[in-house]
Amino acid sequence: MGLTPNTLATPSNKGTIVVDGEAIPNVQLTNKFYEELNAGENFTLYGVFKNLKQKDKNSGVLYGLQKENGEKMFATHFRLLGPMMLLLYAFLAFCLVFVVGWVASCVPVIWIWGKDDVDGLVYHATAFAIVEACLAAGFYLWRAWTLIKITDDPDSWDVMSSATLSSRFSKFHK
């Protein structure tokens, strides 16, 4: 985004950036970026923004910026924090789905193989539960890997005008 920030509403981690007269609220940025942004200077901003139907719930993260002289700065902790949280969610999903899946798998296992063979019941229910849990965890791992790949090359991101970006947010926040 080749945008010109005019003012920042607050020096906190989340605030409103006014870009070319368009307010972009609920933007999370680092203190370092806040200190670098000055009114009237031209920057290329790199950010990730939600596009939900409920516009009052949308927010964004300022991931990086490029100054007029070509110097780029990125908040790499944002790049790694998201995937690390997704790894935690993958672990929790695996554990939860394994326990729930094991109990739920007993019914089809009994229906298919019968209830006479207890060792077979435990083996098959465990195998099904592991597959189910791996699928649940795999979803989060896939999204974490996608996030890492996407943030690897910010120059390939779509360019968006400030008016288009501002229209994603509720008028209540502007």
Q: Summarize the confidence of residues 119-131 as an average pLDDT.
A: 91
Which of 96-100, 133-137, 168-172 has the weakest average pLDDT?
A: 168-172
Phi and psi torsions of 37, nearest 5°? -80, 120
Span 62-103, pLDDT tens digits: 888 888 888 888 888 878 888 999 999 999 999 999 999 999
Same domain, 22 and 48: yes
Rounded mean pLDDT of 105-128? Answer: 86
Chain position carrying tokens 């189910």: 132
The full DSSP string for the chain is -EE-EEEES-SSSEEEEEETTEEEEEEE--HHHHHH--TT--EEEEEEE---SSGGG--EEEEEEE-TTS-EEE-HHHHHHHHHHHHHHHHHHHHHHHHHHHHHHHHHHHHHH-SS-HHHHHHHHHHHHHHHHHHHHHHHHHHHHHHHHHHH-GGGSPP--HHHHHTTS-GGG-
Same domain, 130 and 166: no
Same domain, 146 and 164: no
- Same domain membership, residue 83 and residue 29: no
Q: Are strands 60-66 and 22-28 parallel, antiparallel or unpaired?
A: parallel
Q: Total domain count for the chain?
A: 2
Asked if 72 and 158 sit in the same domain, the reply is yes
94 with 144, same domain? yes
Note whether 138 and 161 are same-domain residues.
no
Q: Say which CATH number the domain at 37 has.
A: 2.40.50
Which token pair is 84? 């690390």
150 phi/psi in degrees, rounded to 5: -65, -45
Tokens 């649940």, located at residue: 136
Domain residue limits at 133:
79-152
pLDDT in the model for residue 63: 84
Same-domain pairing of 36 and 60: yes
Position 86 scores a pLDDT of 95
- Please give the residue that has the higher pLDDT: either 89 or 42: 89
Q: Give the global pTM.
A: 0.69
